Copies of this chain bind each other. A is one copy, B any other.
């Protein structure tokens, strides 16, 4: 496990350096929005999605420059969604990754714009020649990101989540919400290397299965952490789901069944990546990382 933690930290450093070169410099009268973009994206978070992009790209022989661009674009979309989700009109969170949320540190208007700007920048990056030499592949990456992040993906899931705060969701609806809200971007992280490597058959399918399984694992552990976690370790306010009487995997399945499901999913994820042989080691470690995560 130390091995994976070190790798995640190395990824964070690598991604931060690359993000720094891609993000607009804070200059001019409008610099506040650039500062707000940098505040939320640099140095924070586990960088799990960029890690998956880089490690799977490595397995499939994708150029690191290409993988880094996709990883940064994806991290921008992930970060924009966190900034907007934290807003008072949404989850109204004041802490994120152990520091004040964007609208607390800056203000609501700046936070909305910083989110918008990160989303916009992500598409600019994917359109760059450095992301892939083949423009058709770049267009595929763009279309796929828009679908994963839009109403048929993340935004649809967030809308379902907001609806679910008012009316209880059934298990299949919670599953669909998770698949859209967090699953779609995780699937993007795991399968875009296959698109870049033009592997559209069994390899794409195996990565998709792996992504779906770890996405679901991640959400269930998130729900468990909201109950059993330490807010100082996790770095955000906890216990909010129970207070809001929100439907979660834990509230519907119960804690024991939820934990049992995680084990089944871990097994499924491990089977899916067996085809990569020894190379799959970091992906196996990722499964274990999610199984034992406390933040």
| Chain A window 94-120, contacts with chain B (Cβ cutoff 8 Å), 1 for yes, 0 for no | 000000000000011110110111011
Interface of A is mostly: helix
Extra inter-chain contacts (9) besides given A109-B162, A139-B142, CB under 8 Å? A24-B151, A30-B160, A33-B151, A84-B112, A89-B107, A90-B112, A116-B119, A120-B150, A127-B146
Give every chain B residue within 8 A of A159 (Cβ-Cβ): 29-30, 32-33, 110, 113
A149 touches B (CB below 8 Å):
yes
Separation in Å of the A91 CB from the closest CB of chain B?
A: 9
* Copies per complex of this chain: 2
Separation in Å of the A43 CB from the closest CB of chain B?
A: 20
A149 to B127: give the CA distance in the assembly, Å.
15
> 26 interchain pairs (CB within 8 A)?
A24-B151, A29-B159, A30-B151, A30-B155, A30-B163, A32-B163, A33-B151, A33-B159, A87-B112, A89-B112, A90-B109, A110-B159, A110-B162, A113-B155, A113-B159, A117-B150, A119-B119, A120-B146, A123-B146, A124-B146, A124-B150, A126-B142, A127-B139, A127-B142, A135-B138, A139-B142
A9 touches B (CB below 8 Å):
no
Contact B135 A123 (CB under 8 A): no
Given the interface pairs A109-B89, A113-B159, the reply to whether A143 lies near B119 with Cβ below 8 Å is no
Contact A155 B120 (CB under 8 A): yes
Separation in Å of the A28 CB from the closest CB of chain B?
A: 7
Separation in Å of the A66 CB from the closest CB of chain B?
A: 14
Question: Which interface residue of A29, A151, A152 has the most chain B CB atoms within 10 A?
Answer: A151
A157 touches B (CB below 8 Å):
yes
Give every chain B residue within 8 A of A115 (Cβ-Cβ): 116
How many chain A residues sit at the interface, stated as a range, is 35 or more
Separation in Å of the A52 CB from the closest CB of chain B?
A: 21
A164 to B28: give the CA distance in the assembly, Å.
13
A180 touches B (CB below 8 Å):
yes
| Chain A window 18-33, contacts with chain B (Cβ cutoff 8 Å), 1 for yes, 0 for no | 0000001000111011
